[in-house]
Amino acid sequence: MSYVFYGWWDWRFLLLIFASSLIDFILGSAISKSREKNLRRVYLSLSILFNLGCLGLFKYYNFFIESFVEMTAAFGLQANVTSLSLILPVGISFYTFQTLSYTIDVYRKQIDAVKDPVVFFAFVSFLPQLVAGPIERARNLIPQFQGQKIFDYDKAVNGMRLILWGLFKKVVIADGAALAVERIFSNYESMSVAYLALGAILFAVQIYGDFSGYSDIAIGVAALLGFNLMVNFKTPYFSRDISEFWRRWHISLSTWFRDYLYIPIGGNRGTMLKVVRNTFVIFLVSGFWHGANWTYIFWGGLNALYFLPLLLANRNRKHLDTVAENRYLPSMKEILQMTFTFVLVCFAWIFFRAESLSHAFGYIQGFWANPLWESKLVISVHYFYMLGVFLLIEWLIREKGFSATVADSSVFLRRCTYTMLFLCIVFFGVFNGSEFIYFQF
């Protein structure tokens, strides 16, 4: 079924995901059977080279070629190098990292190699999270394919709740903001300061609604099939510093880089210089993972600069709890901390959304070059009502998540919540066939 789903988009890339699965299945078995450490390293290296090679070819080849041509042109030289007309296979960044984590975990002897190829192929291509995550770990997902599946009513209900909440975030919140964001970023030269700020804020809302909406739908669909996927977002915009934000944003990718890159290169151990280097490495690679564009690399570097002072002052794990825990309202200090963190995140999102670095810097320059205010209708008023509903629910679910919070409420409140979200989707949803943003990664 997963292969039919993937082939529906473009059947030609079935061969790629099949080859990736087959090679990692074979190499995982070879690593597990080998007793010689050097041979195990060779098998692991082959797996890393193959997976990163595929990713490099389809996602980064043209970027490196174009950057090389531009660099040589800067020195007055002309390089005749041909770029390739390649379509980026949907989900390649996600399933590549998933298979890589499998062979690395087998090499580390943290899991046993899978003996059943059907189980392994199903793990790599699992339909709900194939194209945009969450990036699951083999130790969590593979055992779920090996056990017998029995319909679980409570799990299915939780899944339906997440699908409803995810649809609301996608078609009402994210797609409702998309047109305004596009208009503001495309015409930033003529936009007032107020609208430039609005554009950055709305993009922060759009990308969160889009990606966390997809994650909730994926987790919900998996729950209907009897599977548990990891939580990918925990109300990140209520973070009190940038370190807490990264513990709550795209958790499956952040923890992947922590476990398979940051800690192996030294983490926060060693000299101050090494800690700074490691921090920049993980954020720059994370930015580059998102796309072959200097804007993503700059976005990653900017987040490293945000994160570094907290790490060096040993304050990066200060906020491990949830803001205003067991309270209805935050303190004034917490409001200021959340606002400051949100402003930093929005500023960085400008680079993530811009088409080029010159576009991003031009957008930022508009904050002091453009007029402060000029009335333009870029988004309807009812969208802000929907945004208010969204923020209120996000605040109420910040400790336990949407499904558990709704499950603990009264029957009347549950039915009101379902009805309200359903009506909002029907009357205020945008159904223009727009894709999820993270499909391009």
* Tens-level pLDDT at each residue, the chain (441 residues): 777 777 777 777 788 888 889 999 999 999 999 988 899 999 999 999 999 998 888 887 777 777 777 777 777 777 666 666 667 777 788 888 899 999 999 999 999 999 999 999 999 988 887 777 689 899 899 999 887 878 899 999 999 999 999 999 999 999 999 989 999 999 999 899 999 999 999 999 999 999 999 999 999 999 999 999 999 999 999 999 999 999 999 999 999 999 999 999 988 888 889 999 999 999 999 998 888 889 999 999 999 999 999 988 888 889 999 999 989 999 999 999 999 999 999 999 999 999 999 999 999 999 988 888 777 767 788 899 999 999 999 999 999 999 999 999 999 999 999 999 999 999 999 887 676 676 666
Task: Decide if 136 contacts 229 (C-beta within 8 A).
Answer: yes
- Distances from the Cα of 415 to the Cα of 161, 162, 202, angstroms: 11, 15, 30
Angle at 273 between CA 268 and CA 276, to 5 degrees: 55
Which one is catalytic: 250, 290, 319, 359? 290
pLDDT of 432 reads 77
Cα separation, 145 vs 132, in Å, equals 20
Burial zone of 341 (CB within 10 Å; 0-12 exposed, 13-18 middle, 19+ buried): buried
Q: Print burial letters for 111-121: b (CB count within 10 Å at least 16), e (below 16).
A: bebbeeeebbb
What's at 226, amino acid-wise? G
Q: What is the pLDDT of residues 118-177, one digit of tens each?
A: 999 999 988 887 777 689 899 899 999 887 878 899 999 999 999 999 999 999 999 999
pLDDT of 58 reads 80
Task: Decide if 233 contacts 250 (C-beta within 8 A).
Answer: yes
pLDDT of 441 reads 63
pLDDT of 188 reads 92
pLDDT of 272 reads 87
Active site residue 319: no
pLDDT of 440 reads 63
Q: Which residue's entry shows tokens 């409001």?
A: 335
pLDDT of 83 reads 67
